[in-house]
Structure 1
Amino acid sequence: MKNILFILMLLSIQAVCGQTPEQQKMIEKAERMQDSIMNTPEMKAMIKQMESIEKAQKSAFQTETKTIPKGKANYDKYLTNTLSSNNNKKLKGWNNGVADLVFDYNYDVRNDKVVSVKVGIIKADGTIELNPINKLPILKPLHNYKNSNRFFDIHNADVYQFKNENAGFKMNSYLSVQQNNIKIGTFTIGNSAKVTRNLLTPGDLYFGDEGYMLSWVYVEEACAIRANENWKGDLGNTGTPLIVETNVVYDLSLKSGWNLVKTEIIGAYQFPNAPEEDRSRFKKHNHTVIAEIPKDATYFFRSAEHY
């Protein structure tokens, strides 16, 4: 730094005074020193840093003077990557070609794959055809349902009552959609986009959106599940207690082979000021066996990116 100040002083003398030969030599030497210093890696780095700072300051100023952009449209988790049917059992907007609808019933640990059976198809035009006729070779006993209930709506397992409790049983609330044995999405049936997603999503199982969803059940012998639980407790997801009272009823008399179960969400507690995870809670779940798909049912396809 002292050398730089000395050079600047000499240059100032050159600007205001005449030079003797000795002074001229000193000035020329100073200029060479200046060039040498300015070309050092340290000085070049310093200059580059100063230029970067100046550029960043200009950019920041320009950004501040720009108009604030409009926010993106709200993300709708119930409709994103989702197709639904109209009243003629055809998925609107389907352009994926022919696809298989399969029922997952086992996991093959040795081969690291889900084992499924075909129960229907989606035609190239989006038309749905369901025809579950195949038997399932691997099943778990009915009484195991008290430990594998994916709705998690019974809190005291002692309320379950089983008839023919050792009968083989498997229940799914969805079908996998496959092409060339690769899953491309999930298929559900119900009368609500919210219900058919909530009841497949662990964090949303207790939401109070009303409506129904269908499940496919296969049993090897006639059997039954009964339960009726009135429960009061905390169903909060965010750390803030949400104390609610719920009633859950299972009245399932299942025939040998394939069955349809209807799960209805009836009544809701609303918490409009709570976070999204705690916006509502159901009052009642009612599970019953039905003979056929209701006429008001909608088919939903959600792509693999969504599920």
Structure 2
Amino acid sequence: MKSLRPFLSTLLLLICFSNFAQTPEQQEMMVKAERMRDSIMNTPEMKAMMKQANELEKKQKSNVKTSPIPKAIKTEDKYWKNTLVSIHNNKLTNWNLGAADLVFNYSYDSRNDKLNSVKVGTIKADGTIALNPTSKVPDLKPLSNFKNSNVFFDIHDPASYQFTNEATGFKLNSYVLVYQNNQKIGVLTIGNSEKVTLNLLTSGDLYYGDEGYMLSWAYVEKDCAIKANEHWKGDLSNTGTPLIVETNVVYDLSFKTGWNLVKTEVIGKYEFPNAPEEDRSRYKKHKHTVVPSIPVEATYYFRKSLQY
């Protein structure tokens, strides 16, 4: 390849002069040069050289490094903001707030601007939780009022409810408040999912499809029951763009006089990965049942008041 370079250079120089005025002798020389060029370019050796040069050029282009696409920065996880949890027991990890009371609120005292409540347990200085509600709740609404005050907002047709002993007094909370020195410092929920235990407390997130369960406390004056089994299809969008889903909501609640535990399960999930955060998922089924006690594997979630 090196031996051809001087010759090719001379040949190219001669061809370049073809653009200027030429004598007959020069023209004849140029014709011979062009023929020689064509002859050389069509030889197997020259074709191999050209192929090698093209492959080298492609290889050099493929080795050019491009800047990687920057990854999106993960925003703060709202489900863990200001949150402490227990791990396989009833003790909050890293609790350092001292002893606190757990209270169940049942009404609002507008005259004194405070919540009326009864004590249902404690958090010890080391974070150990003791829940043992025994006090009576003095101010209750009729059970039938639940169709207008359901905190889960998952029954769309009030006619779906069936009540037994509907006039009896009733109150349900899906959380207990945490108090120190008569001041609320946070909220305690129980379940098996940090998402479910916050979604079901947040008005804009009630319809999310994150699966798991949460426990609620209910107090009733007398034995009573709430039954419902609604199959519904409609729009559950939070953003205005229609989000049509089919849901099934079951209430199978038979209460005994006094304190009861309600387990709310989110079962099945519709996912909408291209939708805005507010419409990222929807539940397929909610199932509400009464359970005899807090499940052994349940997790306690304490969220500081700053979050609310």
Give the TM-score normalised by structure 2. 0.76
CA distance in 1, matches of 2:122, 2:74: 34
CA distance in 1, matches of 2:250, 2:277: 27
CA distance in 2, matches of 1:144, 1:210: 28
| Superposed counterparts of 1:144-159, under 5 Å | 144-159=145-160
- The residue that corresponds to 1:74 in the other structure is 75
SS in 2 for 1:232: strand
Contact preservation (8 Å) 2:89, 2:297: no
- The residue that corresponds to 1:102 in the other structure is 103
| Superposed counterparts of 1:1-307, under 5 Å | 73-307=74-308
CA distance in 2, matches of 1:231, 1:88: 38
SS in 1 for 2:217: strand
CA distance in 1, matches of 2:85, 2:250: 29
- Deviations, residues 146-191 of structure 1 (Å, cap 9, x unaligned): 0000100000000100000000000000000000110000000000
SS in 1 for 2:78: coil
SS in 2 for 1:147: helix
Report the Cα offset of residue 140 of structure 1: 0.3
Point out 4+ residue stretches in structure 1 off by more than 2 angstroms: 70-73
CA distance in 1, matches of 2:74, 2:269: 27
* 167-176 vs 104-113, greater mean Cα deviation: 104-113
- Deviations, residues 208-247 of structure 1 (Å, cap 9, x unaligned): 0000000000000000000000000000001111000000
Report the Cα offset of residue 71 of structure 1: 8.2
CA distance in 2, matches of 1:251, 1:110: 37
Q: Which runs of 5+ in 2 are unaligned?
A: 1-70
Instruction: Quote the sequence identity (%).
Output: 71
CA distance in 2, matches of 1:131, 1:166: 26
Give the TM-score normalised by structure 1. 0.76
SS in 2 for 1:93: coil
- Deviations, residues 21-49 of structure 1 (Å, cap 9, x unaligned): xxxxxxxxxxxxxxxxxxxxxxxxxxxxx
CA distance in 2, matches of 1:275, 1:230: 26
CA distance in 1, matches of 2:73, 2:207: 29
* 105-114 vs 276-285, greater mean Cα deviation: 105-114
Q: Which amino acid aligns with 1:187?
A: L
Larger radius of gyration: 2
Report the Cα offset of residue 88 of structure 1: 2.3
RMSD between aligned alpha carbons?
A: 1.3
